[in-house]
């Protein structure tokens, strides 16, 4: 057998199509295992804090956490929600302050406070990115969606519509953010 024969045999061996039953079997195994590993009611959420309150947002909306960097304000556009623009991987992304939207008290609403935070979080919605500046980050936690409680009446009105509900996690109450609602109102606020 010469080399090209070997090659051929190798190709035949490696390129051969797996038998149908084999594929089927594997498919079944995988589909079962994934069911067992993560019960459907558990979903990963990114937990962070703003104005001494905790919030969670689905990791589907999380792109990355980066070190803080300089923000350039945008003439005619910057306001208490739109802080400006930053360089994320060489592209301009918008930095927004969601305190105004999420926090019930407005005690921590000055712009300078935001910038002193150490990290920035890039959120994504399809192709669009938003950069927010959390005060503290707890990390990613699995949350049982069935345990989400309705907003207690004691919470102020102004952020209720942005939250799906409240969850109790690691001794903290965290508001679960309705990301569609949040992004929509952010979009409105920059238009």
What mask, x for binding other proteins by CB under 8 A, covers residues 138 to 157? --------------------
Q: Is 74 a residue that touches other proteins (CB under 8 A)?
A: yes
Judged by CB under 8 A, the residue of 52, 87, 144, 161 near other proteins is 87
What mask, x for binding other proteins by CB under 8 A, covers residues 152 to 191? -----------------------------------x--xx
- Residues in contact with other proteins, total (CB under 8 A)? 26
Measured from the CB atom, the residue of 19 and 90 that comes closer to other proteins is 90
Angle at 56 between CA 52 and CA 59, to 5 degrees: 140
Please, which contacts does 157-163 make with residues 24 or more away whose CB atoms are closer than 8 Å? 158/104, 159/101, 159/102, 159/103, 159/104, 162/101, 162/102, 163/55
Strands 53-58, 91-96: pairing is unpaired
Judged by CB under 8 A, the residue of 55, 81, 83, 85 near other proteins is 85
Q: Is 91 a residue that touches other proteins (CB under 8 A)?
A: yes
Q: Is 6 a residue that touches other proteins (CB under 8 A)?
A: no
Judged by CB under 8 A, the residue of 47, 57, 86, 122 near other proteins is 86
Measured from the CB atom, the residue of 71 and 103 that comes closer to other proteins is 71
What mask, x for binding other proteins by CB under 8 A, covers residues 9 to 48? ----------------------------------------
- The site for other proteins (CB under 8 A) is made up of 4, 8, 69-77, 85-87, 89-94, 127-129, 187, 190-191
């Amino acid at each position: 057998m010469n080399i090209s024969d070997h090659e051929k045999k190798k190709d035949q061996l490696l390129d051969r199509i797996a038998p149908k039953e084999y594929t089927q079997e594997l498919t079944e195994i995988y589909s079962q295992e994934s069911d067992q590993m993560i019960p459907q009611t558990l979903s990963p959420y990114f937990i962070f804090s703003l104005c001494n309150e905790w919030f969670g947002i689905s990791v589907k909306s999380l792109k990355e956490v980066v070190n803080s960097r300089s923000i350039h304000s945008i003439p005619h556009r910057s306001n208490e929600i739109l802080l400006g623009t930053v360089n994320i991987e060489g592209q301009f992304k918008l930095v927004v302050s969601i305190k105004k939207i999420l926090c019930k008290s407005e005690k921590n609403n000055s712009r300078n406070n935001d910038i002193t935070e150490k990290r920035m979080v890039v959120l994504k919605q399809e192709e669009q990115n938003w950069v927010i500046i959390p005060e503290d980050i707890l990390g990613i936690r699995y949350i049982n969606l069935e345990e989400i409680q309705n907003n207690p009446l004691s919470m102020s009105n102004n952020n209720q519509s942005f939250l799906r509900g409240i969850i109790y996690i690691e001794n903290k109450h965290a508001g679960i953010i309705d990301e569609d609602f949040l992004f929509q109102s952010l979009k409105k606020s920059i238009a």
